[in-house]
A and B are shown apart, each in its own frame.
Chain A
Amino acid sequence: MTDTGPFNEMLGPDGQPRAPYKALAEWFSGMSPAEMRRKSREAETIFRRLGITFAVYGTAEATERLIPFDIVPRVLAAAEWRRISAGIDQRVRALNAFLHDIYHRQEIIRAGRIPAELVIQNEAFLPEMIGFTPPRKVYAHIIGTDLVRVGEDEFYVLEDNTRTPSGVSYMLENRETMMRMFPELFQQNRVAPIEHYPDLLRETLESVAPANCDTDEPTVCILTPGIYNSAYFEHAFLADSMGVELCEARDLFVDDGKVFMRTTRAPERVHVIYRRIDDAFLDPLTFRPDSMLGVPGLFDAYRAGNVTICNAPGTGIADDKAVYAYLPEIIEFYTGQKPILQNVPTWNCAREDDLAYVLDHLPEIVVKEVHGSGGYGMLIGPTASKRELAEFKRRLKANPSNYIAQPTLSLSACPTHVASGLAPRHVDLRPYVLVGDKVRITPGGLTRVALKKGSLVVNSSQGGGTKDTWVLED
């Protein structure tokens, strides 16, 4: 971490473009501000017409919004990407091994590497999963690993999204839009393709079909909460591009321990469900009885080995923010290697010493809720008002174990199209990883950008945008 301003991904300290950005910088410098504005509007029109929207919770009107798209791509060199993807590969293997272990013999606790209460008393730990082994021992099949960059070679993992990470449709549509608008750019730069992601996803899902699956072509479906869900567009997009049915709970039922879809013909058995609803809503018989989104009997069918649920119920514990702090130990324990990608140093407010430090340094650090997501319920010390700081102090003291804290990272910045032309804005990166018979990582991922000057919050719900992300081939 540096104190000399953010790492600029395009321009080196000498003011010259860094190698991966050379062609791009030249190209954009030849573009007039008027042309850039026109292109930017054109991109917005494309997105709006295609209906690439997301819903914002907590606003009465405008339930569907567009995520702003920035026309300047973010570029990673092949070597940079190799290191990132090796680090992710190591991490997702460790996370899956960890999940298998905590739902079985809990060796890592016996070995004293992590405290028992971290797991047992964790809200995200699902006792119903104890002793059950999903196909290929894979729990988290679809993962989005949030990374930030703070220097030339310094990447940190911010979060491992092991429940139902969203955004992959934006990654794909961003690329489609860029290729439509700037074909010349793709002729000048050797950009690794990503359009096969839906095929990889389908292969991955098929590879974890239950052992008793009676066909070579397992039936896969996506389970969505429906059209009012914030990520509905993505659910439909993925079902469409994989060529599988997009089901709501009412389209599925369980009979004789097996799951079926209600079709215009006879009921059809389903082998693999890529669910985009939370654990608690999966099955009203096992979890929340008031769930209207779930399928009664689904969990029993799952435990009987008649259907695979992706991601497995109970994977949430792997991206719990308190567990996150132990990830270096977890990786070492299961892989025998040092982590390739670093964790952000994290203070666990449940620990007395850590809490004391956090309370003393509140204006310098970032505080997050252990189970929060989407940028909601967090405090960014350096930009917080006195009142917000006081409020968080009160909350921390009242319920310290609900919070973790991290130093404020100086996220790297990428050139971004704003009203005044191109200006650096902070970015993060979410690569998408698939785990089935093997680990499949799509080059690049989704770059989110904080469009407000100086802002470090990239979440779309908080005014963030996205960029196409390029991995250059050697």
Chain B
Amino acid sequence: MLGRTAASLYWTSRYNERAENMARLLEVGYRIAMTPRLGQDHSDDWRSTLVSAGCDGAFFSKHDEPTKRAVVQHMLFDRDNPSSVRSCIEAARNNARSVRTAITGEMWESLNTTYLEFMDIRPQHMTDNKLPDFLAWIKQRSMLFRGAMLGTLMRDAGYHFSQFGAFIERTDNTARILDVKYWILLPDNEMIGGDLDRYQWTTILRSVSAHRSYRHAYRDAQVRPFNVAEFLILRKEMPRSISYCYDWISESAAALAIRYQDSPVSCDMAHGTLSLLEETSMDRIFQGGLHEFLTDLIARNNALGAQLASDYHFS
């Protein structure tokens, strides 16, 4: 397999995953904006949506105020924002197109249809009443691609590169949401237990499609910050938790190492992070500081992506 092919499979999956995450973050931002709040400025919420999405830099280089309209346009349609849904869909499709031979017809058709239909949409026509359906559509399209990948792609090296991309992206996304929101929410913890606060914690869960499953995992009427963090970091039954992602990353890293009869550095790194997650506990994480833990994890995750690229000659 060409190194470039491996790289494109990895990035196709990453961008596909990112498009979905962007849609989810917008959904949450949109929900918050619909909730009446006392004496508070909504622009803070949109600001935190931008920070969670890692889009704040690109946004504030063009805009002064994070109004709803500006944020939605920026995160959905702005070509200058490399993580906008449009940019993600275009990048996923271009990567897929350049390795058309390495993916299945079903995978290609799902991405291509998403691209064609997305490009037909005029940003100025994206009114408030159309937005929820549109965001749901983006998520569905992304899941369709993932389903096509899981259902049709041969379980060879390409599959593992693809899995790698999806879970590296998901790890980054979950870690970032938790980091940003936790950081914003905790200073005001005199209000913990209040309706507003509970609502805020639910939004974190919502942004990773876990507001329902949380109720099943923790049979408790309260949404507790400690539990939310645990759910998103350590609980392996939660498919967007960091531990869950690292199970897969580690498995793909091992599968690649076997296939290539080699013990690449990326494989050791993946196992290292997995062990770290398996051996720690929430108490220990909080002792050392959640923010510090997540910052370290995001850095490890990025370094792993870079090491993978170097181990398998991505360019």
The interface residues of chain B, by DSSP majority, are classed as helix
Centre residue among B4, B100, B101, B260 by max chain A CB count within 10 A: B101
* B99 and chain A: residue at smallest CB distance: A246
Task: Find out whether the CB atom of B157 lies under 8 angstroms from the CB atom of A240.
Answer: no
- Whole-angstrom CA separation of A263 from B100 in the bound complex: 17
| B1 contact from A49, A236, A263, Cβ within 8 A | A263
CB within 8 Å of A: which of B1-36? 1-6
Task: Find out whether the CB atom of B98 lies under 8 angstroms from the CB atom of A49.
Answer: no
**Is there a chain B Cβ closer than 8 Å to A251's Cβ?**
yes
Provide the A226-252 mask, 1 if CB < 8 A to any CB of B, else 0.
110000110011011000011110110
- Whole-angstrom CA separation of A49 from B106 in the bound complex: 10
Q: A250: which B residues are within 8 A, CB to CB? A: 4, 315
**Is there a chain A Cβ closer than 8 Å to B97's Cβ?**
yes
Q: B112: which A residues are within 8 A, CB to CB? A: 49-51
Task: Find out whether the CB atom of A264 lies under 8 angstroms from the CB atom of B313.
Answer: yes
CB within 8 Å of A: which of B80-99? 94, 97-99
**Is there a chain A Cβ closer than 8 Å to B43's Cβ?**
no
**Is there a chain A Cβ closer than 8 Å to B116's Cβ?**
yes
- Whole-angstrom CA separation of A416 from B100 in the bound complex: 32
Q: B116: which A residues are within 8 A, CB to CB? A: 48
- Whole-angstrom CA separation of A236 from B2 in the bound complex: 14
* A53 and chain B: residue at smallest CB distance: B112
A-B Cβ contacts below 8 A, count: 60
**Is there a chain B Cβ closer than 8 Å to A288's Cβ?**
no
**Is there a chain B Cβ closer than 8 Å to A110's Cβ?**
no
**Is there a chain A Cβ closer than 8 Å to B312's Cβ?**
yes
Q: B1: which A residues are within 8 A, CB to CB? A: 263-265
Task: Find out whether the CB atom of B3 lies under 8 angstroms from the CB atom of A262.
Answer: yes
Q: A226: which B residues are within 8 A, CB to CB? A: 98
Q: B108: which A residues are within 8 A, CB to CB? A: 50-51
Task: Find out whether the CB atom of A247 lies under 8 angstroms from the CB atom of B109.
Answer: no
Q: B6: which A residues are within 8 A, CB to CB? A: 264
Given A251-B3, A264-B3, decide whether A232 and B97 contact each other with a Cβ distance below 8 A: yes
**Is there a chain B Cβ closer than 8 Å to A261's Cβ?**
yes
* B3 and chain A: residue at smallest CB distance: A262
Task: Find out whether the CB atom of A261 lies under 8 angstroms from the CB atom of B109.
Answer: no
**Is there a chain A Cβ closer than 8 Å to B302's Cβ?**
no
| B101 contact from A240, A251, A265, Cβ within 8 A | A240
| B2 contact from A48, A240, A247, Cβ within 8 A | A247
Given A49-B112, A49-B113, A51-B108, decide whether A263 and B97 contact each other with a Cβ distance below 8 A: no
**Is there a chain A Cβ closer than 8 Å to B151's Cβ?**
no
Interface size on A, residues (CB 8 A): 23
- Whole-angstrom CA separation of A48 from B313 in the bound complex: 34
**Is there a chain A Cβ closer than 8 Å to B105's Cβ?**
yes
Given A264-B157, A264-B260, decide whether A246 and B313 contact each other with a Cβ distance below 8 A: no
Task: Find out whether the CB atom of A49 lies under 8 angstroms from the CB atom of B109.
Answer: yes
Q: A246: which B residues are within 8 A, CB to CB? A: 99-101
Centre residue among B2, B3, B98, B99 by max chain A CB count within 10 A: B2
| A227 contact from B94, B101, B109, B260, Cβ within 8 A | B94
Interface size on B, residues (CB 8 A): 23
Task: Find out whether the CB atom of B313 lies under 8 angstroms from the CB atom of A236.
Answer: no
- Whole-angstrom CA separation of A237 from B97 in the bound complex: 11
Q: A232: which B residues are within 8 A, CB to CB? A: 97
Centre residue among B3, B109, B260 by max chain A CB count within 10 A: B3
Task: Find out whether the CB atom of B2 lies under 8 angstroms from the CB atom of A239.
Answer: no
Task: Find out whether the CB atom of A251 lies under 8 angstroms from the CB atom of B4.
Answer: yes
Centre residue among B1, B100, B312 by max chain A CB count within 10 A: B100
* A262 and chain B: residue at smallest CB distance: B3
CB within 8 Å of B: which of A247-289? 247-248, 250-251, 261-265
Q: A50: which B residues are within 8 A, CB to CB? A: 105, 108-109, 112
CB within 8 Å of A: which of B273-315? 312-313, 315
Task: Find out whether the CB atom of B98 lies under 8 angstroms from the CB atom of A263.
Answer: no
Q: A233: which B residues are within 8 A, CB to CB? A: 100
Given A49-B109, A239-B101, decide whether A262 and B2 contact each other with a Cβ distance below 8 A: yes
Task: Find out whether the CB atom of A262 lies under 8 angstroms from the CB atom of B98.
Answer: no
- Whole-angstrom CA separation of A265 from B3 in the bound complex: 8
Q: B157: which A residues are within 8 A, CB to CB? A: 264
- Whole-angstrom CA separation of A262 from B2 in the bound complex: 6
Q: A264: which B residues are within 8 A, CB to CB? A: 1-3, 5-6, 157, 260, 312-313
Task: Find out whether the CB atom of A261 lies under 8 angstroms from the CB atom of B2.
Answer: yes
Task: Find out whether the CB atom of A236 lies under 8 angstroms from the CB atom of B109.
Answer: no
- Whole-angstrom CA separation of A248 from B8 in the bound complex: 13
| A262 contact from B4, B99, B100, B109, Cβ within 8 A | B4
- Whole-angstrom CA separation of A245 from B8 in the bound complex: 14
Task: Find out whether the CB atom of A236 lies under 8 angstroms from the CB atom of B101.
Answer: yes
- Whole-angstrom CA separation of A209 from B213 in the bound complex: 59
* B108 and chain A: residue at smallest CB distance: A51
- Whole-angstrom CA separation of A465 from B1 in the bound complex: 36
- Whole-angstrom CA separation of A265 from B113 in the bound complex: 33
- Whole-angstrom CA separation of A51 from B116 in the bound complex: 10
* A239 and chain B: residue at smallest CB distance: B101
- Whole-angstrom CA separation of A250 from B7 in the bound complex: 13
Task: Find out whether the CB atom of A245 lies under 8 angstroms from the CB atom of B109.
Answer: no
- Whole-angstrom CA separation of A264 from B260 in the bound complex: 9
Task: Find out whether the CB atom of A265 lies under 8 angstroms from the CB atom of B260.
Answer: yes
| A236 contact from B94, B97, B260, B315, Cβ within 8 A | B97
- Whole-angstrom CA separation of A422 from B62 in the bound complex: 55
Task: Find out whether the CB atom of B2 lies under 8 angstroms from the CB atom of A251.
Answer: yes
Q: A48: which B residues are within 8 A, CB to CB? A: 116
Provide the A48-72 mask, 1 if CB < 8 A to any CB of B, else 0.
1111000000000000000000000
- Whole-angstrom CA separation of A261 from B313 in the bound complex: 11
For residue B4, give the distance in angstroms from its CB to the closest CB of chain A.
Answer: 5
Q: Give the 10 A-B CB pairs with smallest separation, nearest first.
A: A236-B100, A240-B101, A264-B312, A51-B112, A262-B3, A264-B6, A239-B101, A227-B97, A264-B1, A251-B2
Please report A residues at the B interface, Cβ cutoff 8 Å: 48-51, 226-227, 232-233, 236-237, 239-240, 245-248, 250-251, 261-265
19 extra interface residue pairs, beta carbon distance < 8 Å, beyond A240-B100, A264-B6: A48-B116, A49-B113, A50-B112, A51-B100, A51-B108, A226-B98, A232-B97, A233-B100, A236-B100, A245-B2, A247-B2, A250-B4, A251-B4, A262-B2, A262-B4, A262-B313, A263-B2, A264-B1, A264-B312
Please report B residues at the A interface, Cβ cutoff 8 Å: 1-6, 94, 97-101, 105, 108-109, 112-113, 116, 157, 260, 312-313, 315
List 25 A-B residue pairs with CB atoms under 8 Å apart, sorted by A's residue number. A49-B109, A49-B113, A50-B105, A50-B108, A50-B112, A51-B108, A226-B98, A233-B100, A236-B97, A237-B100, A239-B101, A240-B101, A245-B2, A245-B5, A246-B101, A247-B2, A248-B98, A251-B2, A251-B3, A251-B4, A261-B2, A263-B1, A264-B1, A264-B3, A264-B5
